[in-house]
Amino acid sequence: MSSNSAVRVALVTGGSGGIGRAVVERLAADGFAVAVHYAGNAARADETVRQITESGGQAIAVGGDVADEQAMTAAFDAAEAAFGGIDVVVNTAGIMVLSPIATLALADLDRMYRTNVRGTFVVCRLAANRLRPGGAIINFSTSVTRTQFPSYGAYVASKAAVEGITLILARELRGRDITVNTVAPGPTATPLFLEGKSQELIDQIASMNPMGRLGAPEDIAQTVAFLAGPARWVNGQVLFANGGMA
């Protein structure tokens, strides 16, 4: 592995599937060396790494629970050992359990908060201490913080917390030349989103924005690439990547 400091390095949590994998592939195509983080699916992460390296890119897989400080410290250590430092951290790891607030199992609430809030906080805390100047921290929320669909209450609450962390951390990193932003996707055609939905429902959701389609993971990855690269004057913001959905 090269430790050439001219190569920008990204660590992507949840990088083995859905939006995370699209982000990994886009950043690798943009010339980043990428640490592909996974929680449970090592085989999928390894396959992503293999595809990148066979295409001439640089990538490694790093595992662990994002809410576990020791595991994530080890992931940061591995990325730094392989590539010489870290410039960009993208927090796509998250879980979503949908239920009316009145009937949500509190164990599911705790599970979402552990991954979505504590996990984001742990990774942001490490990134705040370890990113090189010129770096970027990119967190993930959801457009449902605006659309307020029923059954998303606990999930939206966890993502509102992520937005709060983002906005404060951006101000706390004054003088470090590190931007901190959040991407808030709308409905995006990932396997997780499409699972269990009828074509009629998918078409209905797709019609909710002026573009008349669902987002593709690549659409979200393009927004991340903008924040990870040229967008140095965008800081402390929530970018809604949803095709114009309210």
The residues carrying an active-site annotation are 155
Gap between the Cα atoms of 28 and 165, Å rounded: 27
Strand partners, 91: 13
Sheet holding 136-140, edge to edge: 59-63, 33-38, 9-13, 88-91, 136-140, 179-185, 238-241
Q: Are 140 and 162 a contacting pair, CB within 8 Å?
A: yes
Gap between the Cα atoms of 5 and 62, Å rounded: 20
Tokens of 123: 């990774």
Q: Are 208 and 165 a contacting pair, CB within 8 Å?
A: no
Q: Please compute, for residue 117, the number of CA atoms within 13 A of its CA located in the half-sphere on the CB side.
A: 15
Phi, psi of 4 (to 5 degrees): -60, 115
